[in-house]
Structure 1
Amino acid sequence: MTRTVFRFVPFTITQDTTAEPTYEAVCVSGDGKECGERSDEWITPHPVEVWMRDHMKITGHARYRRTFVDYADVTRADQNPDH
């Protein structure tokens, strides 16, 4: 008979502060087909919001999928110096 022992290992997930997050938007407006125009990636949300406003002025499109991307570190609690 084979025995398996599972042990709970606590861990923490934190944002990696050495890597900057990015923001982006894609226009999903359109009749039957999404527009698909996309903003550039930025390290702050403001330029993406300006792009969405300007795209709406030109096209009348009002629906966007916004994306925020960051990096995460997963650390075992027994290896975390804060614990």
Structure 2
Amino acid sequence: MTRRRFRYVPFTIEQDQTAEPEYDARCVSGDETECGAESGTHSGPEPVEEWQRKHTQETGHRRYRRNFGDYAVMRPPAQLAELVRADGGTA
């Protein structure tokens, strides 16, 4: 049986700058059922906010479920990344 020792490595979590974040909203106004109208997905918050304004003007609805999604990358500390590169691996 092989024994392995795992050590704590203080990785940092960073937003992946190579992938665009995603923004969207859904109207949840309504007493018994939600309106359900959706903004669609956009790469920035401005089109979603504009959709909310227009939807409110047209319907009087004022409650929205907003979503933000992005991609994250785990980065090892610089010294660990250098060790891995020195061994021929990737960090």
TM-score (structure 2 length as normaliser): 0.76
State percent identity of aligned pairs. 55
Task: State the aligned residue count.
Answer: 78
Say which SS state the counterpart of residue 50 (structure 2) adopts: helix
What displacement does 1:5 show? 4.9
Q: Which runs of 5+ in 2 are unaligned?
A: 83-91
Per-residue Cα deviation, 1:32-71 (whole angstroms, up to 9, x for no partner): 1111111011111111111001111111110001111111
- CA RMSD, 1 decimal: 1.7
Distance between the aligned counterparts of 1:72 and 1:22, measured in 2? Answer: 13
Say which SS state the counterpart of residue 43 (structure 1) adopts: coil
Distance between the aligned counterparts of 2:43 and 2:4, measured in 1? Answer: 46
After TM superposition, which residue ranges in structure 1, 4 or more long, deviate above 6 angstroms? none
What does residue range 1-83 of structure 1 map to in structure 2 within 5 Å? 5-77=5-77, 78-79=80-81
Q: Which runs of 5+ in 1 are unaligned?
A: none
More strand per residue: 1
More helix per residue: 2
Greater C-alpha radius of gyration: 2
Say which SS state the counterpart of residue 46 (structure 1) adopts: helix
Letter in 1 for 2:81: Q
TM-score (structure 1 length as normaliser): 0.82
C-alpha distance 12-67 of structure 1, shift in aligned 2 (>3 A): same
Distance between the aligned counterparts of 1:17 and 1:65, measured in 2? Answer: 25
